C-alpha cells in the first residue's frame, strides 16, 4: 500500500559522503516507521538504521553508528540516509523499507521494500 523508490546511490571514494533518498507514495507515510538495510555481494541482508513515525526515535547498527544519520521529512513523504566517512565495506545495494512502529530493529517487521540503490565506495 506504500510504494518506495530509492535514489542517490553512486560511486564515491573512501572518506566521502552520499545522501540516499527514499520517496514514498501511497497512503499515510507519516504513520510508518522507516528503515534502511543493505546487502553486499556474498553477504546476507544487513540492518543499517531505522526511524519511528515522528522522527523522534532512531536506531543504528554498530557498524554505521557515528557515520550515518537517518532522517525523514513527512511533509515531503521522503526519508533520508546521510552517509559520511564512507568505507569500502559500505559497498552494497541499499534498500529502503517501511513498517509498523512495533520495533526499530532488524525484525521490525518490515513488510514494504523499495528496489534498492547501489552504493560503491572505492579505496
Is 24 in a helix, a strand, or coil? strand
Residues 90, 65: contact at Cβ < 8 Å? no
**Res 2: pLDDT:** 86
Q: How many CB atoms lie within 10 A of CB 1?
A: 10
**Res 66: pLDDT:** 98
C-alpha to C-alpha distance for 74 and 58, rounded to whole angstroms: 15
Percent of the chain whose predicted confidence (pLDDT) is above 70: 100
pLDDT digits (tens, 9 = 90+) for 65-88: 999 999 999 999 999 999 999 999
pLDDT along the chain (123 residues), means of 10: 94 98 88 96 96 96 98 95 98 97 95 97 97
Amino acid at each position: 500500500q506504500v510504494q518506495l523508490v530509492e535514489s542517490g546511490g553512486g560511486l564515491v571514494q573512501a572518506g566521502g559522503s552520499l545522501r540516499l533518498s527514499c520517496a514514498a507514495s501511497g497512503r499515510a507515510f507519516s504513520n510508518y516507521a522507516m528503515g534502511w538495510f543493505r546487502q553486499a555481494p556474498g553477504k546476507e541482508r544487513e540492518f543499517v538504521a531505522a526511524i519511528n513515525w515522528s522522527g523522534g526515535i532512531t536506531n543504528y547498527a554498530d557498524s554505521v553508528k557515528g557515520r550515518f544519520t537517518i532522517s525523514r521529512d513527512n511533509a515531503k513523504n521522503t526519508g533520508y540516509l546521510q552517509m559520511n566517512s564512507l568505507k569500502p565495506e559500505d559497498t552494497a545495494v541499499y534498500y529502503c523499507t517501511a513498517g509498523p512502529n512495533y520495533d526499530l530493529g532488524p525484525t521490525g517487521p518490515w513488510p514494504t521494500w523499495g528496489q534498492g540503490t547501489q552504493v560503491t565506495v572505492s579505496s
